[in-house]
Structure formats: structure tokens, C-alpha cells
């Protein structure tokens, strides 16, 4: 078992014998790059469309896989939508995304809030899997601003062994 992993016995974990590990997200220097962000709202609701990449890093703990995925979906507050893997890496990395309710600032500006989650089998131990989740704020840029690029830093990292 790797160091810096805090073992937590969570009541209600999916399997009674599985141990759930929660990694302090700020212990990793790791984020995802969002490119080609476009989002907008019409009467029917809001949509988003972007690519997201994560870099392989075999020296950090846990090791992270390379991935690139295309995410697109609708409606603030909707459940996760599966993103389409664009890379041809030989891992089972799954990426999902959803729009959280928008962030309306005091002056009335409305910001999109996108949440992304990555799940993959540990790169060395096939019985362990990891789930990283993070969110970031951007703009509803359709018609008013060019495609945006920004990063999402995972804020929750959970492993199940």
C-alpha cells in the first residue's frame, strides 16, 4: 500500500470488505486541461461542449493515466453524462461530466460551473480503482466570446481496494 493514503472505514461502502481510501487532493500536483469550451443557455436550458485531457504520471501516488475525452451535455443540475474517450490508451479510464447550477455573482453575472469525474483501475493493482472529481467555473460564451481553455483541479480523490 502506498504511503500518504489515509484509510477510512466508511459506513455504507458498497462492499463490506472493501476499504475506501480518501487522498488529500492538495497532496497531488495534478489537474486536467479543458480546451474548446463552449457553453450557452436557451429557453430549453443550458449546454456544454469541450475536450478534456489528463496527463500520465507514473511517479505520483496514485499514478494517473493519460486520457483525452470529448464531453457534451445539457441542463444545469442534470446527472452525469458519459464523455467520449478520444485517446487510444489501453486503460479503462471513464470520464463523465455535468453542469452544476450556475454561479450568479453579486453584480448579476452568470458563470457556468462544470463538474468532471474520472474513474480508472489502478495502473499497478487491478483490484483497486480510483475516482477523481473536481469542478471549475467558466463562462457561458456562446455568441459572445471565443472558445475557452481552463483547468479543473480534482478536489475529491477516492480509492477502493
Ligand X SMILES: *[C@@H]1O[C@H](CO)[C@@H](O)[C@H](O)[C@H]1NC(C)=O
Write out the three cell numbers for 60: 505520483
Q: Stretches 5-13, 15-23, 40-48, 117-125: which one binds ligand X (CB under 6 A)?
A: 117-125
Q: What character string, x for contact with ligand X (CB under 6 A) and - otherwise, covers 49-78?
A: xxx---x-x-xx---------x--------
> Is residue 87 close enough to count as binding ligand X by CB under 6 A?
no
Q: How far is the CB of 45 from ligand X (least distance, A)?
A: 19
DSSP states of 67-102 as a string?
Answer: EEEEEEEE-TTPPPEEPEE-S--SS--EEEEEEEEE
* Long-range Cβ pairs for the range 23-26 (8 Å, 24+): 23/61, 23/62, 23/157, 23/158, 23/159, 24/157, 25/134, 25/153, 25/154, 25/155, 25/156, 25/157
Considering beta carbons, is residue 7 or 84 the nearer one to ligand X?
84
> Is residue 39 close enough to count as binding ligand X by CB under 6 A?
no
Which of 19, 119, 122, 141: binder of ligand X (CB under 6 A)? 119
* Distance of alpha carbon 150 from alpha carbon 52, whole angstroms: 10
| Interaction site with ligand X (CB under 6 A) | 28-29, 35-36, 49-51, 55, 57, 59-60, 70, 80, 86, 94, 96, 103, 105, 107, 109, 111, 113, 117-119, 131, 133, 137
Amino acid at each position: 500500500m502506498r504511503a500518504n493514503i489515509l484509510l477510512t472505514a466508511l459506513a455504507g461502502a458498497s462492499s463490506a470488505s472493501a476499504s475506501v481510501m480518501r487522498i488529500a487532493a492538495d497532496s497531488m500536483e495534478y489537474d486536467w486541461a479543458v480546451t474548446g469550451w463552449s457553453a450557452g443557455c436557451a429557453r430549453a436550458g443550458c449546454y456544454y461542449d469541450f475536450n478534456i485531457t489528463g496527463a500520465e504520471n507514473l511517479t505520483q501516488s496514485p499514478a494517473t493515466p493519460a486520457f483525452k475525452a470529448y464531453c457534451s451535455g445539457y441542463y444545469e443540475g442534470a446527472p452525469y453524462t458519459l464523455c467520449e474517450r478520444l485517446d487510444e490508451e489501453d486503460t479503462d479510464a471513464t470520464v463523465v461530466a455535468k453542469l452544476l447550477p450556475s454561479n450568479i455573482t453579486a453584480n448579476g453575472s452568470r458563470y457556468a460551473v462544470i463538474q468532471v469525474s474520472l474513474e480508472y483501475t489502478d495502473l499497478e493493482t487491478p483490484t483497486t480503482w480510483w475516482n477523481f472529481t473536481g469542478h471549475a467555473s467558466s463562462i457561458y460564451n456562446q455568441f459572445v466570446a471565443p472558445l475557452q481553455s481552463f483547468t479543473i483541479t480534482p478536489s475529491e480523490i477516492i480509492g477502493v481496494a
